[in-house]
């Protein structure tokens, strides 16, 4: 069974983050520059939240706020759902589906070691299923 640590080994463990006191505009620029949909909100090494494009749309744009004078802490989600390196891809998929989240920070011994997105999980699942199908086809043909 494929685990989060295998996914991170393949995709990398780079983490993009923003501070809670930074303006939302900085977060949006970073997301746009990196082609990502969410950023971890970190105070030093401590994970204090997550902010996404959805948060921006719902809590800044629709409420008529300004992204250059609204701090990230005002729109972030503070209760972050995390997973560990030993968790399986299936467990992560279930969490994303049940809790309606798209990004899962990976925490090992209270330290953020990566982030997996729903896209990463789907890609890994498809790859794993393709491998299983090929093995079954060789078994049947052989």
Domains of the chain (ranges; CATH) run 4-141 (3.10.580.10)
What's the burial of 115, exposed, middle or buried (CB within 10 Å: 0-12/13-18/19+)?
buried
**Whole-model pTM?**
0.89
Question: What is the predicted pLDDT for the residue at 22?
Answer: 97
Residue 17 CA to its chain's centroid (Å): 11
Question: What is the predicted pLDDT for the residue at 42?
Answer: 97
Question: What is the predicted pLDDT for the residue at 64?
Answer: 86
| Under 8 Å between Cβ of 27 and 73 | no
Question: What is the predicted pLDDT for the residue at 128?
Answer: 86
| Under 8 Å between Cβ of 61 and 100 | no
Question: What is the predicted pLDDT for the residue at 35?
Answer: 94
State the 10-residue block means of pLDDT for the chain, 142 residues long. Answer: 92 94 96 96 96 93 88 95 96 96 96 96 90 88 84
Q: Which residues pair with 107 in a beta bridge?
A: 112
Alpha-carbon gap, residue 35 to 21, rounded angstroms:
22
Query: And the tokens for 100?
Result: 């309606």
Question: What is the predicted pLDDT for the residue at 27?
Answer: 96
Task: Name, in order, each residue with C-beta under 8 angstroms of 21's C-beta and a sequence gap of 6 or more.
Answer: 71, 72, 73
Question: What is the predicted pLDDT for the residue at 5?
Answer: 96
| Under 8 Å between Cβ of 40 and 105 | yes
Q: Name which of 6, 34, 29 is nearest 116 in CA terms.
A: 6
């Amino acid at each position: 069974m494929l685990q989060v640590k295998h996914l991170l080994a393949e995709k990398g463990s780079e983490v993009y983050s923003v501070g809670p006191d930074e303006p939302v505009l900085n977060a949006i620029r970073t997301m746009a520059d990196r082609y990502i949909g969410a950023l971890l909100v970190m105070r030093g090494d401590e994970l204090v939240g997550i902010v996404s494009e959805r948060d921006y749309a719902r809590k800044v744009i629709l409420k008529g706020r300004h992204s250059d004078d609204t701090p990230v802490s005002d729109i972030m989600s503070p209760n972050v759902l995390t997973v560990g390196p030993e968790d399986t891809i299936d467990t992560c998929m279930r969490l994303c589906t049940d809790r309606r989240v798209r990004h899962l920070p990976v925490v090992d011994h209270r330290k953020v070691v990566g982030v997996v997105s729903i896209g990463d999980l789907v890609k890994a699942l498809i790859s794993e299923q393709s491998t299983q199908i090929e093995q079954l086809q060789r078994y049947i043909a052989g």
